[in-house]
Amino acid sequence: MIDAAVYRELGLSDEEYQHILKALGREPTPTELAMFSVEWSEHCGYPRSRPVLGLLPKEGKYRSRAKGEDSGGIEVAPGLLCLFKMESHNHPSQVEPRQGAATGIGGIIRDIFTMGARPIALMDALRFGSLSSPHARYLLAGVVDGIQFYGNCLGVPTVGGEIEFNDCYRGNCLVNVMALGLVEEKKIASAAARGKGNPVLVVGNSTGRDGIGGASILASHEFGVDEEKRPTVQIGDPFTEKCLIEACLEALETGAVVALKDMGAAGLTCTTSEMSAAGGVGMDIELQRVPRREEGMEPWEMMMSESQERMLVVAEKGREEEVIGVFRKWGLNAAIVGEVTDDGFLTIRDNGKIVARVKASVLADPPTYHLPAQEPGYLPSLQQADLSSLPEPKDLAEVLMALLASPNIASKKWAYRQYDHMVQTNTVVLPGEADAAVLRIKGYKEGIGITTDGNGRYCYLDPYLGAQLVVAEAARNLVCVGADPAGVTDCLNFGNPEKPDRFWQFRRCVEGIAEACRQLEVAVVSGNVSFYNEGPETAVYPTPEIGMVGVLKEVSRHCTMGFKRPGEAIFLLGESAGQLGGSEYLKVWHNQEAGRPASLDWELEKGVQAACLEMVQKGLLSSAHDCSPGGLAVTLAECCIAGGIGAEISLPDAEGTRADAYLFGESPSRIVISCPPENADAILEIIGRHAIPCQEIGRTTGDMFSIRLTDKHIRLSVSKMAQAYYNSLPATME
């Protein structure tokens, strides 16, 4: 009889252990118990989130591929798919930031090329505690170093992302990474094993003890006080992964590969069980044939190891040497470790002795849970907070300078200058130049726009509305560069789902994402759930990260956010005034996180997006920039800073609206655009056709930025604003 302490230590509940007993009809062996613990973990099997994830739409206006494989995608040109996915490496990065982030990059890249796609770009979305904390600065420096180390060595450009800071992430940072790749639809690789007698190969790196229990222990539980988790952090080798990319793509070209899958979370357990279940077959595996770099590894260690840069391959019988030859040419291990069977069982042997025998379908399909959900007790008081009584600042220029230097708004150039964003020579719009990255597709006129967006504060104050606002902002970022929003991947970061208030936040956020994606007609093609993001003090704010991909009809027709030359007209698409609830201004200037985020009118949002997209596609605009954190004043200042051009702005009276709300409040459905004066009539015609609010608010000028609002006036030099914007983060990190 297995002691309850043993399976609980592996992360299994009493209820799950009873499921295992029923499924097997006997007690599990130690190896089987280990296999169930990783494959039934939340990180791998999604037993607590799967019932809710079914709400997300899988189809949209672009033809999509979202079949539950390692990644999904959309058609960006006839017969050409862009595959993309976002995943988290939060817990490992909190423990060991450099290796945690590096292996996160390696894992997400493998999810792309395992389907036959060549990786072309990376993005990252990062969250840390306040930078006043030395530990937060240590984590930020380590994570950025890990991303640049792995991505730069690999030769895949990191073209964008975002970094934000809040004390809620102090005990559990968030490291979400997104990768994209391109593949001809006819060349997509399968992860479903098939063909009785076909050989099964482990290729790539050797297996060691690093990462054991990472999925079941590290990623599926809260951090406790003084817990030692370092042994579960994997060690990455980007040079091996670079060879693995080329070897896998070359092996697929031979036509001798039946199925291929990344050996990431849950390692050999995940690949053998999921590939078998997907194909309705079984596998017979001999562990002594698996290349290893450590002596004396137990069978359960072999099955749980999350050593990096490994893949499982099913080859055509009789052509295995052809496949082995490709991997050995690239200096990689390639060992036949077993064969496909037709009995549906996953049989694991160690020196011929059976140490595990489980139905693959049972292992790959964990029981699901419908968890209780309850609205958090903090919400009513925060949402009903009276913000009208807050004192208005006397010096609005001082507020603007404080916002431009605040960590969440200030330039992240300190981070992205460490990334190689030009490798592969596909990057058309560089980090910091626009609201989204733009990539060319060699040999095609089309291009790809990419963005990541998240706002934990909005979702903390209203999960349903906040999640919709995040999706809407991601889409606005894409239309600002001329990309039509086409598909979504998400990374859902939440606290312990077994606490009803945390699960309520999760469910409401998913419902919000689903509604927003339906409104915008974009499919959710892939994603990841990261639960248990909390330490002994607090949980992270509910932080759904949205990675969105858009299609440019002609990559040459794109737009950036910087003003281009003096004398151009500046327009504001959408309503003028913002709201204080949940704003960055409220946090920076008044040290409050309260109120409701601004409401979202979907007809207005879609109209503003459609109008802006049409203007960019017709080449009418010099610049376009979404109004987001910091409000209208910060948006205009960023346009000046990015272009090195000033602006004279005169805003219409806003009866009953506070000046700070007007200038620094946040509301969706707003985009600042600029254009040559001769294009103004064409722009007004498009605005009239889409029936959206719009006003001309000023002109670009020389080197000064000026805003007039009735009797209020801000006047600052562009160089002074740029100094605050660009120097804040480097000064903090020195």
Task: Name beta bridge partners: 526.
Answer: 489
CB under 8 Å to 510, separation ≥6 — which residues?
Answer: 52, 53, 55, 56, 467, 492, 544
726: its two tokens: 């660009």
DSSP state of 618: T
Contact between residue 438 and residue 555 where contact means Cβ atoms under 8 Å apart: yes
Q: Which helix (H) or strand (E) holds 490?
A: strand 484-493
Amino acid (1-letter code) at residue 531: F
CB under 8 Å to 66, separation ≥6 — which residues?
Answer: 58, 59, 72, 523, 524, 525, 526
Q: What are the b/e assignments for 536-571, b being 16+ CB within 10 Å? A: eeebbbbbbbbbbbbbbeebebbbbbbbbeeebbbb
Span between the terminal Cα atoms of the chain, in Å: 57
Residue carrying the six token digits 């800073």: 641
Size (the chain), residues: 734
- 388 alpha-carbon distance from chain centroid: 36
Cβ neighbourhood burial of 730 (10 Å; 0-12, 13-18, 19+): middle
Which is the catalytic residue, given 89, 421, 558, 625?
Answer: 89
Taking the C-alpha atoms of residue 447 and residue 159, their distance in angstroms, rounded to an integer, is: 14
223-231, long-range: CB within 8 Å, 24+ apart, which pairs? Answer: 223/91, 223/94, 223/171, 223/172, 223/534, 223/535, 223/536, 224/536, 225/536, 229/91, 229/95, 230/95, 230/96
Taking the C-alpha atoms of residue 689 and residue 570, their distance in angstroms, rounded to an integer, is: 19
97: its two tokens: 């930031």
Radius of gyration, CA atoms only, the chain: 26
Helix/strand/coil for 96: coil
Amino acid (1-letter code) at residue 186: K
Which is the catalytic residue, given 19, 43, 625, 690?
Answer: 43
Taking the C-alpha atoms of residue 282 and residue 195, their distance in angstroms, rounded to an integer, is: 10
Contact between residue 549 and residue 75 where contact means Cβ atoms under 8 Å apart: no
Is residue 43 part of the annotated active site? The answer reads: yes
Helix/strand/coil for 110: helix
Taking the C-alpha atoms of residue 367 and residue 487, their distance in angstroms, rounded to an integer, is: 29
Is residue 690 part of the annotated active site? The answer reads: no
DSSP state of 597: P
Q: Please report the DSSP string for 128-190 in residue order.
A: ES-TTSHHHHHHHHHHHHHHHHHHHHHT--EEEEEEEE-GGGSSS-EEEEEEEEEEEGGGPPP
Active site residues: 43, 89
